[in-house]
Amino acid sequence: MTEVILEARNVYKTFQISAGAFRPKRPLHAVNGVSLKVHRGEVLGLVGESGCGKTTLAKMLLGLLPQSSGELLVDGEPVGDAHRLHTARMIQPIFQDPYSSLNPRKSVGAIITLPLKVQNEPNPETWRKRVEDILDIVGLPKQVYGNYPNQLSGGQRQRVAVARALINRPQVVICDEPTSALDVSVQSQILNLLQDLREELGLTYVLISHNLAVVEHMATRMAVMYLGRVVEEGESQRLFKEPRHPYTRALLQSVLTPEPDLGIPDAHLGAVYPNPVDPPSGCTFHPRCIDVMGNCSREAPSPIPTENGHVECHLYDTDAAA
Ligand code: SF4
């Protein structure tokens, strides 16, 4: 197993949510005790419904949001204020929407040069050459250096966002829905570019996506989040073939197929996603679970080790089954 480049140790993030005038604020546990290890060269796919805590976790990994408790480490160094430049050098984001993530008033050259300035890179006279080199690597002609984002197509803008993320040669890239704002015709080009760059530059990715086909195509490992917890984690091919957690099974069953006769798949998720301010007792998935058992509403399941990962479900709890 390769070295761990990114690690979350029992990380919590709690927001205090207003419940209305004259009412006390209530805690919302957006991330509720997450422990994860990402090894160098892996692509960790982070999946789950909206509001499950994926983006909050990603923001904490980037040092954009402090955790309430627990530890986040990138290459063995804590992520956070005191280590902001180190964190930014090691880990960079690519966001969903290249239309809003690029400053429309700055030229492509200025956008990609900014991280070099922030990191006080030496030899400013070489910066233009470095920018032109990274433009070449992401498949853009160096003539776009003086262009503005509105002069580029969606796919070209996302390539600029990739170039900006990679100019300081980070070790880890957090890809937050990197293709969902793009036309279908250019989505695969950007995914292939990310794949090629990972191999060429030895990058590690955390890939957040609603699109399970994208995760299956890219990810080597997968972590499934539900109400702030990683309920199942493991090698991606194994999870797609033999999902263990009932929620993982439901997510995979909910994928639309290109067969019109098969209609809209029934994921058996039943009740709506619960209110995270008032989560269900015991296993928080129990109101929607088709395998629910007597103890599920009373006792929260603990992580149970699997080969190369874990699952949180009483179905695999040998003590409870005994
Ligand atoms: Fe379903 Fe119980 Fe497993 Fe939760 S612990 S996922 S309710 S079987």
Any ligand 1 atom below 6 A from CB of 198: no
Confidence of residue 192 (pLDDT cuts 50, 70, 90): very high
pLDDT band at 76 (very low <50, low <70, confident <90, very high): confident
Tokens of 144: 């776009």
Which amino acid residue places its CA nearest to atom 3 of ligand 1?
Answer: 313
Give yes or no for residue 264 having a pLDDT over 70: no
The pair of structure tokens assigned to 115 is 């991280």
Residue nearest ligand 1's atom 7 by CA:
286
pTM over the 0.75 mark: yes
Q: Which residues share a beta bridge with 16?
A: 27
| pLDDT at residue 321, rounded to an integer | 46
At 108, give phi and psi (nearest 5°): -55, -45
Is the pLDDT reported for residue 322 higher than 60? no
Q: Which domains does the chain have, with CATH numbers?
A: 4-321 (3.40.50.300)
Which pair of tokens denotes residue 212? 């399970």
Q: Are 93 and 82 in contact (CB under 8 A)?
A: no
Query: Per residue in 265-279, pLDDT tens?
Result: 666 676 677 888 889
- Continuous H helices in the chain: 54-61, 84-90, 98-101, 108-118, 127-137, 154-166, 184-201, 212-218, 236-241, 246-253, 318-321
Q: How far does the centroid of ligand 1 lie from the alpha carbon of residue 7, in Å?
A: 27
The closest-lying atom of ligand 1 relative to the alpha carbon of residue 314 is: 5
CA distance linking residue 55 with residue 76, whole number of Å: 22
| DSSP letter string, 127-195 | HHHHHHHHHHHTT--GGGGG--GGGS-HHHHHHHHHHHHHTT--SEEEEESTTTTS-HHHHHHHHHHHH
| Residue 181 reports pLDDT greater than 70 | yes
**Ligand 1 binding pocket includes 313 (Cβ within 6 Å):** yes
97 pLDDT band, cuts 50/70/90, is confident
Separation of CA 59 and ligand 1 centre (Å): 29
pLDDT at 25: 85
pLDDT of residue 267: 60
Choose among 91, 64, 95: nearest CA to 208: 95
What is the distance between the alpha carbons of residues 29 and 155, in angstroms, rounded to a whole number?
Answer: 36
